[in-house]
Amino acid sequence: MAEHARIAPIERATNRSWNEWLAFLERAGAKDLNHKDIASKVNSELEGTMDQAGWWAQSVAVAYEHHIGRRIPGQRSDGTFQLSVSRSTALDLEELMRQWTEFASSNSTIQELLAEPARTSGTDRRMSWRTTAVDGSSILVTSEAKKNGTASIVATQMGLPSPEANDAAREHWVGLLTAFLERL
């Protein structure tokens, strides 16, 4: 069986063993379904039994696709790769995004990544800074509110072509977020 870091949390959250999920997915013919259809079947099974059923349905579908060898960790259903790096801060949601926007606009390393100017948007729970990278991948940096009034910063890059590109981008974002937080 392919290991997947989300199996234990899936089992706890859904109150089903991984073997029970595998049996359900086999009966559902999941090997012949695409990601969206697998997640839909799991969501139908979970709906009304727990909070965030859709999120957990996605987790089950991804873990299953890893299990059958359809994709590897970090790989999206379209074959590209995605990473996220997050850090907690003492800043509130709006101040964190203001500080990030100022940092990003003056940081030459970030500016060299961008194919177009970043756009910002937000709600009272999450603010986003998004753009396209010169390699065609998408970059999303969010400021996400926490219950204690502080916020976390999450940098996500999607659409990378290989595990190697994904690993390099992860290292890059760890360095950028470290430099950003050291500046605060």
SS (H, E, C) the chain: CCCCCCHHHHHHHHCCCHHHHHHHHHHCCHHHCCHHHHHHHHHHHHCCCCCCHHHHHHHHHHHHHHHCCCCCCCECCCCCEEEEEEEECCCCHHHHHHHHHHHHHHCHHHHHHECCCCEEEECCCEEEEEEEECCCCEEEEEEEECCCCCEEEEEEEEEECCHHHHHHHHHHHHHHHHHHHHHC
Give domain limits for the chain: 7-67, 81-183
CATH superfamily of 81-183: START domain (3.30.530.20)
pTM: predicted TM-score of the whole model, two decimal places: 0.80
| pLDDT tens track, the chain, 184 positions | 445 678 999 999 999 999 999 999 999 999 999 999 999 999 999 999 998 999 999 999 999 999 999 998 889 989 999 999 999 999 999 999 999 999 999 999 999 999 999 999 999 899 999 999 999 999 999 999 999 999 999 999 999 999 999 999 999 999 999 999 999 9
